[in-house]
Every structure is written in structure tokens, then in C-alpha cells.
Amino acid sequence: MYPANADRILDHLNQGDLVLDIGGWACPFNRANYVMDAESFETRGFYRTVGLPDHQGGEEEHFDEGRWIRRDICGREPYPFPDKHFDFVICSHVLEDIRDPLWVCDEMIRIGKRGYVEVPSRVAETCRGWEHPRTAGLSHHRWLIDIGENHITFLPKLHAIHSHWRFSLPASHFRHLPERERVQWLFWEGGFTYDERVIHGLDNQLAELESFVRRAAPYSPTRLGIDAVSRRIAALARRVAGGFVRRLG
């Protein structure tokens, strides 16, 4: 979680507020009274194994093993809490990982009065070099996410994003990206809206990826122009070769 927002959450919580952390296993928010995750209580704080902070939200854990709910958060069984049970619900760096973030959003709104969502920014997830020089974003992330005015849009992370440099941002872009711009978040109260964006057809999918990269403008017009000409020449060569093979046949 972006550290300034962790502090902001603590400042706005009242002493008696009931708090749930959804998916907090790697770095639990210690002020949470309950944590819900697929992994076990004993293995919490996984981030310490990779040299990152293994907790936030204060030094004292307000949850214990009895209030660590181990379950598939995408399982189509309602969470074991009544409507609006929690004063605050946290879901930080989870939605991009899971198979059904829309279900989790629905349950989060049902059981919570207000809360906080944080995910990687669309820019960060489009950058190569975060994990691997030829991979955009992190390999286990399933979604490209945009957060707007109290609304979250989920776009499946299309495989083509890794296939050509024009569909992703260079590693140098990620290295110079401030921490604040590597994440995006939503403080919500009462609820928020969300949807999945579906793009049909490979050409339309490629156009979406390429247009996002062009808006970030990491590449010179000259490089883009040369690449476009090269691709047209390659396409023409394939057509000519295909016609020649058909005539031979």
C-alpha cells in the first residue's frame, strides 16, 4: 500500500471501528480486526522474504488466528459477514491478481460501509522491466485496471502486450516513474461502481494497447513511423510469398 495512504487510513479510523483486510497475507494491515486470504495465518508477512515491508497499519496486530479467515476470496459463496458489518474494508494489491475481481468488489461493498482499494497503475502494469526486460508489468497479474470517479474498470491483460515494444512502455519509463504514479487508489464510502471492459477482435485489442502507449509518448514519431513502414513491407512480403506458394501448388 502507498505509505501515505496507510497513514491516512489510520488517521481516519475511530478506535471502535471494525476493519477487514481482504487479501492481506503478504503484508497485513495490522489495524484490521479480521483478515481474509487464501494463505495461512502462520505464513503471513510473505513480503519479508523478498526484502519488502511485511506489515502496515501499526506495529500491533488487532487480528489473531481465530479472526484470520482462510478461503478462496473468489469462491461464489458469500463472505461470512452480514450486510454493512465492517466500518472499513481494505483491499490493496489484490484485484489485479485474481480471477474474479468483480465478485470481490460486490462482496466488499455488501459487507463494508466504506473502504480503500489500491492496484498498480495502468502505466506501471504496461512497463517492461518491472519483473523482466521483455515482460510488461508483473507476470502473475491478470488485469489492466483504470480507476476513475468512484468507478473501477477491469480490462483483461491481453497476451499481446508482451509481443512487441509498441504495445508496452520501456523499462526506462518504469525506472523514472515516481512511486506515487506506480499505483492508483480509491477511497470509497457507501459503495462504488465497476465493470469489465471486453474488446472483441485481435485488431481492436492491439489498437487499444497501442493507443495507450502512444498517449504516454515514450517513443519518437520517427521510430514509430519506421516500425509502421517495416510492418507494411513485411505484410506485403508475406502476401507475395503466399501467392507464389499457391501458384506452385
pLDDT at position 84: 98
Tally of residues, the chain: 249
Per-10-residue mean pLDDT for the chain, 249 residues long?
Answer: 97 96 97 98 93 93 98 96 98 98 98 98 97 95 97 97 95 95 98 97 96 84 67 68 71
H-type helices in the chain, by residue range? 3-12, 101-111, 122-126, 171-175, 202-216, 221-248
Q: b/e for 161-175, b at 16 or more Cβ within 10 A?
A: bbeeebbbbeeebbe
pLDDT at position 43: 96
pLDDT at position 104: 98
pLDDT at position 239: 74
Q: Phi-psi category of 198—alpha, beta or left, where left has phi over 0 and alpha has psi -120 to 50? A: beta
Q: Which of 47, 25, 46, 22 is nearest to 36 (CA)?
A: 22
Q: Which of 192, 17, 187 is nearest to 104 (CA)?
A: 192
The rounded distance, in Å, linking the Cα atoms of 152 and 158 is: 18
- Is the pTM value of this prediction over 0.85? yes
Q: b/e for 97-135, b at 16 or more Cβ within 10 A?
A: ebebbeebbebbbbbbbbbbbbbbbbbbbbbbbbeeeee
pLDDT at position 248: 78
Structure confidence by residue, pLDDT tens digits, 120-176: 999 999 999 999 999 999 999 999 999 999 999 999 999 999 999 999 999 999 999
pLDDT at position 25: 97
Q: Which of 121, 225, 206, 207 is nearest to 162 (CA)?
A: 206
